[in-house]
Amino acid sequence: MADPTRHVAVLAFPFGTHAGPLLSLVRNLSAVAPDARFSFLSTSWSNQTLFSGMKGEEINNVRPFDVDDGARDDHVPSRNPIEAVELFLKATPRNFERGLEEAEKEVGLKIGCIVSDAFFWFAGDMAGEKRIPWVALWTAAVRSLFVHVDTDEIRRNLEAQGISNKGQTLDFLPGFSSIRSSDLPEGIIISPENSESPVDILLHKMGLILPKATAVLINSFHQLDPEISDHLKTRFRNFLHIGPLILTSPPNPKPESDPNNCLEWLSGHDAASVIYVSFGSVVTPPPHEVTALAEALKESGFPFLWSYRGTKPEGILDDGVSESGVNGKLVTWAPQVELLRHPSVGVFVTHCGWNSILESVVGGVPLICRPFFGDQRLNMRTVEAIWGIGVGLGGVMTKQGVLGSLRRVLVEEDGKGMRERIGVMKKLAYAATGVDGSSRKDVNDLVEIITNGD
């Protein structure tokens, strides 16, 4: 490989589904900018997971560098996923500073640009000291980005109105009249129990500092939520819609793409008849909700494919595919992106993580939403009240609630409308990422900033 002319450092947030989309973007950039060298900084666990399926030629000019995860060698992880995040945040930014030094030494070239997860507001300081561009990727929706950028304004308004009424709508924000204060991520409205949360503090700082970034990137496309996108364009120096990344950037190769033969199983079913269930990479619903969901799935009579985390849901299917006439499949991992594009899938029961929603839009599959934390409630509200492409289950899954929602989406007239609306969004997603599409143009602008920006 020729000597690189530009060294780009990439700082990944190693939890949830953050680092994967960032790496797929970087692999795309590395293919268009072969003279640049990309140093990808994440924890060793995250790098191992992301890079394990790749062969040398697939990595191109991208090299992983491991940074300290903040846990001592003798640390015994707890069941609380937030603990690992907090330990990691305590190790920042020092762990990344060390990583940058190591990368510069190994590559033999000063870093000329920093691309980071938007969470890392301190990457702005690092880039400022080096007088180089800082490009920040927000891996979620425009609406959740907006509420973090405008947190102080939201707090002022809600305090003035008295925040006791959690159902009050955010009429004072453009495009938010159907969103309630109870839909906001936890840290926006400070309550005594979460005011000290390091993640909330991080996100608040991020919202204040992001406008200084050379460019803010979002894994979305302009036509999906144009009013909010246009508003954010006025807040940032460059606001680039470079998604859906699953259409603009190559997926990260996996050691095995469909180990549980989900796609073959799906092919034996009628069009739009199968219920797909997944709550992403972090959430495990409480046992009573798992039971309620399992009972509803069985009673609904529709075939279902459930990708579950943790312990296998009890009493649903004890030995695989068929038990007393129930037509379902339980797996610990499914090729979700391909699955949601399969014509047999009729509805997606989801926790409303942003990647899941985008993948459903690209597949044209309506959603049933059970959000848990962070941006998930806001995503649910957007899905049901703004876009009309799904049903919100609110705060808990009950057997009757799930059954009613399944009927609405799969049987009733209402569901047809949802399918039509998400079908329109799907077309817009493909148009944005096709030749001359808006996301393609923004990716080109990004390549310019990364390779030549100052």
Q: Which residues are catalytic?
A: 18, 117
Task: Please report how close the Cβ of residue 280 comes to ligand UDP at its closest, in angstroms.
Answer: 3
Task: Please report how close the Cβ of residue 94 comes to ligand UDP at its closest, in angstroms.
Answer: 26
280 sits near ligand UDP (criterion: CB under 6 A): yes
Q: In this chain, which stretch among 47-55, 273-281, 396-404, 421-429 interacts with ligand UDP, using CB under 6 A?
A: 273-281
The two tokens of residue 343 are 């014509």
- Tell me the three state secondary structure of residue 169: strand
Amino acid at 387: W
Distance between CA atoms of 192 and 180, rounded to whole angstroms?
20
Q: In this chain, which stretch among 79-87, 100-108, 319-327, 331-339 interacts with ligand UDP, using CB under 6 A?
A: 331-339
* DSSP 8-class letter at 171: T
Instruction: Determine contact, residues 126/114, Cβ cutoff 8 Å.
Output: yes
Question: Of these, 111, 224, 275, 334, which contacts ligand UDP (CB under 6 A)?
Answer: 334
Instruction: Determine contact, residues 24/250, Cβ cutoff 8 Å.
Output: yes
For the chain, how long is the longest CA-to-CA vector? 66
Total count of residues recorded for the chain: 454
Closest C-alpha to 354, from 13, 17, 120, 12: 17
Q: In this chain, which stretch among 31-39, 333-341, 412-420, 425-433 interacts with ligand UDP, using CB under 6 A?
A: 333-341
Instruction: Determine contact, residues 307/336, Cβ cutoff 8 Å.
Output: yes
49 sits near ligand UDP (criterion: CB under 6 A): no
Distance between CA atoms of 327 and 325, rounded to whole angstroms?
6
Question: Of these, 46, 95, 151, 278, which contacts ligand UDP (CB under 6 A)?
Answer: 278
Q: Which residues pair with 445 in a beta bridge?
A: none
Please identify, using beta-carbon distances, which residue of 252 and 439 lies nearer to ligand UDP.
Answer: 252
43 sits near ligand UDP (criterion: CB under 6 A): no
Q: In this chain, which stretch among 44-52, 227-235, 278-286, 410-418 interacts with ligand UDP, using CB under 6 A?
A: 278-286
354 sits near ligand UDP (criterion: CB under 6 A): yes
Q: In this chain, which stretch among 85-93, 187-195, 217-225, 348-356 interacts with ligand UDP, using CB under 6 A?
A: 348-356
Distance between CA atoms of 53 and 167, rounded to whole angstroms?
46
Walk across the sheet containing 390-392 and list its strands: 322-323, 326-331, 304-307, 274-278, 345-350, 367-369, 390-392
- Count of residues interacting with ligand UDP (CB under 6 A): 16
Closest C-alpha to 291, from 315, 320, 321, 326: 315
285 sits near ligand UDP (criterion: CB under 6 A): no
355 sits near ligand UDP (criterion: CB under 6 A): yes
Q: What angle do CA 261, 267, 269 make, to 5 degrees?
A: 120
| Ranges within 298-317 binding ligand UDP (CB under 6 A) | 307
Task: Please report how close the Cβ of residue 383 comes to ligand UDP at its closest, in angstroms.
Answer: 13
Please name the residues in contact with 22: beta carbons below 8 A apart, sequence gap of 6 or more.
Answer: 10, 12, 13, 115, 117, 137, 139
Please identify, using beta-carbon distances, which residue of 61 and 439 lies nearer to ligand UDP.
Answer: 439
Q: Which residues pair with 115 in a beta bridge?
A: 10, 135
Please identify, using beta-carbon distances, which residue of 220 and 356 lies nearer to ligand UDP.
Answer: 356
Question: Of these, 44, 168, 182, 281, which contacts ligand UDP (CB under 6 A)?
Answer: 281
Task: Please report how close the Cβ of residue 49 comes to ligand UDP at its closest, in angstroms.
Answer: 12
Please identify, using beta-carbon distances, which residue of 13 and 121 lies nearer to ligand UDP.
Answer: 13
157 sits near ligand UDP (criterion: CB under 6 A): no
Binding site for ligand UDP (CB under 6 A): 16-17, 278, 280-282, 307, 333-334, 336-337, 353-356, 359
